[in-house]
Chains A and B, each alone.
Chain A
Amino acid sequence: MQFGAGLWCLQTSATTPRSSAEAYRQLLVDAREMEAMGYDSLWLSEHHFFYDGYCPAVIPAAAAALAVTTKLRVGTGMLLLPMQQPERVARLAGRVAEQSGGRFDLGVGLGYRDVEFDGKGIARQKRVGLHKQGLEAIAQYAEPSGVRVWNGSATPAGVARAGARGQGIYLSGANPLSLVRDLAAAHRQGWEDAGRPGGVRPRVAALRNVWLADTPAEAAAALEYQRASYVLYAGLGWSVAATGDTPTMDFKKDADAAVAGAVATSIIGPAEYIIDGLTAVSEAGVDDVIFRVVLEGAPQSAVHRVLRRLADEVLPHVAHLEAAA
């Protein structure tokens, strides 16, 4: 199992104000720190036209973080592919991979906010076709340069298509473990049904809400960070459709229930509890875990401390884990 952290969204929000320049300066500090702590990857996220400056251009941000590190992988989780010119995105990604020694992970998603599609002049109804064009351009221009592609999806059909292409998937931290298990299985099945393209099963990465806490007070603070971070999704209007035994999670129609459901996915406790939780994640079919620790209201010092403690007290005990078949 490999480990990363995210999501760096580079915001300056109503409740956690700072300058955007400070947010980006801190990204470069964090990238160096993550590398020194031994993490495998750092992940960015993209949105457009949101009041808090949510990063709208993740490829340049990734290129900057890669330029100040030598081993750390940097990924986009997710770049909203239908909103950009496909060949240009693919060429940019390829160039980043070339100038970073192949350390760029390109996670791509469809996007969901109508206001973003409207601002870019693209009908959301066309996003699947545009996404397909984007993936074709990435296959032509980016993957030959060493770009590793990840697909963001929360539907069995979507992840199965990614598996059939021989590409990895990257699952939301708000997904309950039951859904993660279903999606990992569908991804694996899609890959097998397609004749196992590439010969090596593509990986399943999952954001997980993890926080190492020794006391009830620390755990309560971590839960509050999680809650505040998911209020953002209410502002963005995100939703996840029902799948199998997993009910709909709609941050637009019932924000309280959706926030509560997302927070309920959290693995918060002492090191032994985290190790048990990550073991369960690997048993659900996950290869790589991205700790979702960059949270609204969580001070930088707290984020660094929890990353350090996870690296020292947890990772040595879980690095051997392999995703269950």
Chain B
Amino acid sequence: MRIALLLDDNTTTAWAAAADAVGSFAVGCWLGDTETSSVVSAAVVATTATTRVAVGVRLGLENPITLAEELAVLDNISAGRIIAVVDTGDLDLDGAREDLGLLVAGLSARPIQHAGARWTVPSGVMGPDMPKSLIVTPEPTQLEVPIWLVGAVAQALSAETGYPVIADDAGQPLTQARVQPAILQLTGDLVADRDAVIAWSAAGASHLFVRVPAGADPSLLRGYIALHLAPEVAMVNYPRVMSHTLRPLESTEETASVSADLE
């Protein structure tokens, strides 16, 4: 199971660079005001190099074609590192199904021709001479942008589409899909947090976003999550001595300081 940072009220976008530096598989940007997740995510993709960025996309507030355009731009800025966390918002299942379908079509680089209860694309409102289909450009960098679901009708939508729902209760049965994301609030207590990530792994989660405790600083990513939590779920029967040994010196200043002490 892989572990990622989930940005929330306890963190800022500055945490993203620190997460990138320690190899966090992703930085989640969908909590809080999901309406503005795209611009928070833009700042994160621009200031990170390898970590994936989970972008919040709330359905029901904007044309799905426009949402697809934003995702495609973010995917290109990040050279193919985004995950779309689609929030079904206030839509019912029918509405969410239509909007999600149009969003996915908009990311396909294929000609779109859609007539539904909520949207008609192209609409024909500009007369009969308009093209009968359209292609959203630019195309994303990824072959297929990953889509993970949250929201009131996410479970029902997942059952129809196969896109995973981000789980938040390790006690509930999980799908054993190829990807099963989940969320965990860390406490700062090592024993409890270690047990919690192991529980998620045992339950079948493949990707775990963690929220950090209030008052934490970015050193938590290296000195706690990367050091103690990530290794626990990277192999069976992790030898904890690896987390309790002295880490290699990182900076030339630190090396020089130790060398001087030894002399």
Chain A interfacial positions (CB closer than 8 Å to B): 10, 12, 19-21, 23-25, 27-28, 48-57, 59-61, 63-68, 83-85, 88, 91-92, 95-96, 99, 114-115, 117-124
Contacts and interface: CB of A to CB of B under 8 A. Distances in A.
Given A21-B79, A121-B121, A53 B69 contact: no
> Which label, helix, strand, loop or mixed, suits the secondary structure of the A interface?
helix
B63 A121 contact: yes
A121 B73 contact: no
A122 B63 CA distance: 11
Contacts of A95: 33, 36, 39-40
B134 A68 contact: no
Nearest to B12: A99
A114 B139 CA distance: 22
B119 A121 contact: yes
Most buried by B among A60, A85, A123: A60
Given A49-B136, A114-B130, A120-B66, 16 more contacts: A10-B76, A25-B79, A28-B77, A57-B66, A59-B38, A60-B73, A61-B73, A63-B40, A65-B46, A67-B42, A84-B62, A85-B63, A96-B39, A115-B122, A118-B131, A124-B126
A56 B39 contact: no
B135 A49 contact: yes
B125 A118 contact: yes
B77 A64 contact: yes
Interface string B145-177: 000000000000000000000000000000000
B219 interface: no
B1 interface: no
A30 to B, nearest CB: 13
A56 B123 contact: no
Contacts of B41: 60
B13 interface: yes
Interface in B47-100: 47, 61-63, 65-66, 69-70, 72-74, 76-77, 79-80
Contacts of A55: 73, 138
Nearest to A113: B126
B71 to A, nearest CB: 9
Given A50-B137, A64-B45, A88-B62, A99 B39 contact: yes
Contact of B123 (A53, A63, A119): A119
B243 interface: no
A48 B137 CA distance: 7
24 contacts: A12-B138, A20-B139, A21-B79, A23-B76, A24-B79, A27-B77, A28-B77, A49-B136, A56-B69, A57-B72, A57-B73, A61-B77, A63-B43, A64-B43, A66-B43, A67-B46, A67-B47, A84-B62, A92-B35, A115-B126, A115-B130, A117-B125, A117-B126, A121-B121
Contacts of B62: 84-85, 88
A235 to B, nearest CB: 13
Most buried by B among A19, A61, A83, A122: A61
B223 interface: no
B10 interface: no
Given A61-B77, A119-B121, A56 B43 contact: no
| 4 A-B pairs closest in CB distance | A53-B138, A63-B42, A121-B123, A67-B43
Contacts of B122: 115, 118-119
Please tell me the size bucket of the interface on B: 35 or more
A118 B125 CA distance: 6
Contacts, number: 151
Nearest to B47: A67
A18 to B, nearest CB: 11
A124 B63 CA distance: 16
A271 B35 CA distance: 47
Given A84-B66, A117-B125, A117-B126, A10 B61 contact: no
B213 interface: no
Contacts of A51: 137
Nearest to B58: A88
B141 A121 contact: no
Interface in B8-34: 13, 33
B255 interface: no
A85 B36 CA distance: 13
Contacts of A99: 13, 39-40, 43
B46 A56 contact: no
Contact of A85 (B61, B72, B131): B61
B120 interface: yes
A212 B53 CA distance: 41
A316 B98 CA distance: 56
Nearest to A11: B138
B101 interface: no
A25 B141 CA distance: 12
Contacts of A23: 76
Given A64-B42, A119-B134, A121-B120, A91 B35 contact: yes
B209 to A, nearest CB: 21
A20 B76 contact: yes
Contacts of B13: 67, 99
